[in-house]
Amino acid sequence: MLSRVMSDALHDTDGGDDVIFITAIVGAAALLSHKHPHCEAIAGCSAALLAQIDAGAA
């Protein structure tokens, strides 16, 4: 299920540039990054790290 949701998100957002998934879940992200050449995955991130990344983007 999660793999399908991430695959749909990849196809919805990929405009030819790379797509980066930042997730706490290792499995699905790793599978996508191997299947799609324009997809990278950063796995094992905590909610606190995601909040810092989001705060830095604002």
Which 3-state string (H, E, C) describes 1-58?
CHHHHHHHHHHHHCCCCCEEEEECCHHHHHHHHHHCCCEEEEECCCHHHHHHHHHHHC
Q: What is the pLDDT of residue 28?
A: 63
Using only C-alpha atoms, the chain has a radius of gyration, in whole angstroms, of 12
Q: pLDDT tens-digit profile of 1-58?
A: 667 777 788 778 767 677 788 877 777 666 766 777 777 888 888 888 888 887 876 5
Q: What is the pLDDT of residue 4?
A: 77
- Whether residue 32 contacts residue 10, with contact meaning beta carbons closer than 8 Å, is answered with yes
pTM for this model (two decimals)? 0.56
Q: What is the pLDDT of residue 26?
A: 74
Q: What is the pLDDT of residue 2?
A: 65
Q: What is the pLDDT of residue 56?
A: 77
